[in-house]
Amino acid sequence: MTPTHDAGGGKTRSAILVAHGAPSDPAPQERAMADLAARVGALLPTWALRGATLAAPGALEAALMGLEAPLIYPFFMAEGWFTTTELPRRLILAGRGGVRSLAPFGADPGLPALARAAAEAGAKAAALDPARSTLLLAAHGSSGTGAGARASAQAAAALARTLALGPFARVEVGMIEEAPFLTSVARAAAARGPGLCLPLFAQAAAHVREDVPRALSQAGFTGLVLAPIGAHPGVPALIARALARAG
């Protein structure tokens, strides 16, 4: 990577963590990305780290200012339309079409281990025996039909297959925007016995705060609902490792 210099910071390398954000209320997710960038930056002291969301007008453009050739880290759960089409389009409009984007957070090879650790810790906190419990993965899915529309479901299914290797009795995926819908899968899981839910979302936005709890409530699922995987304490280190490998 070509050395870059943060305006006034004297850093030798740089990266921008880019998430979708919340169009209806962009400020909280902008602050969350700034906080995440700061935590990653603490692990990479020679790097200039910034965060931005696509939903906040001008945020990506402002983050690019003063950085010659930053890496772009997509804080998304899958390589879908936003990472393959919208983010590149926005970078081109900002005059930065040549900057390098890494694989998204959801495709990181370290994510399955992080998800397993989160689920096992949750089971322990809830006094659940994983061998007798269901791990329910709540994912986004997509109602679209265009290129990349299957990315969220495919990524969730791939993670479920990996986590099914143990220690949980069952690992199932329920989605917000396509079948198998979270309400139906959670209802069946609740009927079988104990379980817990891990939301496969990068940010704690409306889907995590509203849609997932509503679907679980409608299903009568009373198991522990964990924080979204993007909020796991191990995420900054995972991102730092990805940037260090690429840089």
Average pLDDT, integer, range 161-185? 96
Q: Are 132 and 193 in contact (CB under 8 A)?
A: yes
Q: What is the pLDDT of residues 186-231, one digit of tens each?
A: 999 999 999 999 999 999 988 999 999 999 999 999 999 999 999 9
Lowest mean pLDDT, pick from 48-62, 80-94, 149-163, 166-180: 149-163
- Bridge partners of 170, per DSSP, are 134
Q: Residue 3 domain-assigned?
A: no
Q: Are 203 and 75 in contact (CB under 8 A)?
A: yes
Q: Residue 1 domain-assigned?
A: no
User: Residue 41 — pLDDT band, cuts 50, 70, 90?
Assistant: very high
Edge-to-edge strands of the sheet including 224-225? Answer: 170-175, 134-139, 195-199, 224-225
Q: How far apart are CA 112 and CA 109, in angstroms?
A: 7
> Do 200 and 130 have their domain in common?
yes
Q: Residue 201 domain-assigned?
A: yes
Quote the pLDDT of residue 1. 33
Res 247 pLDDT > 90: no
Range of the domain at 100: 13-107+233-246
Q: What is the pLDDT of residues 9-23, one digit of tens each?
A: 567 899 999 999 999
Percent of the chain scoring above 90 in pLDDT: 87
> Do 121 and 212 have their domain in common?
yes
- Where would I find the beta strands (DSSP E) of the chain? 13-19, 47-53, 71-74, 134-139, 170-175, 195-199, 224-225
Q: What is the pLDDT of residues 136-154, one digit of tens each?
A: 999 998 766 565 668 889 9
> Do 43 and 74 have their domain in common?
yes
> Do 66 and 135 have their domain in common?
no
> Do 149 and 183 have their domain in common?
yes
Q: Are 226 and 199 in contact (CB under 8 A)?
A: yes
For 198, phi and psi rounded to 5 degrees?
A: -115, 110
Whether pTM > 0.85 for this model: the answer is yes
> Do 206 and 224 have their domain in common?
yes
